[in-house]
Amino acid sequence: MASALVQSFGIGVRQLREAQGWSQERLAENSNLNRSYIGEIERGCAIASLVTVEKLAAALQLTPSALVTRGETISQMNLVRGIQLMAIAC
């Protein structure tokens, strides 16, 4: 099972891609990556290398650190949401 950060990174990539109005194919073309690999990253099934993060960030017109930070932020929000739900359940 993928780590929370890997899953959140993929969610962030998908959100940014969709905000551009791009298909996975378009992001793949712009980042010089395979479309199926983009899908695996977005689903949290593949761990992106630093080179891949760099390619995705360039295609999305971000710095690599901004792209990773987005994934970290999503991961932290999900953690807080989980804690809040546990508190409600108690």
Q: Right CATH number for 4-89 from 3.40.50.720, 1.10.10.10, 1.10.260.40, 3.40.309.10?
A: 1.10.260.40
pLDDT at 46: 97
- 34: helix, coil or strand? coil
Q: What is the pTM of this model?
A: 0.84
Which sign does the torsion angle of CA 30, 32, 33, 35 carry?
A: positive
Domain residue extents for the chain: 4-89
Task: List per-residue pLDDT tens for the chain, 90 residues long.
Answer: 568 889 999 999 999 999 999 999 999 999 999 999 999 999 999 999 999 999 999 999 999 999 999 999 998 887 666 665 555 665
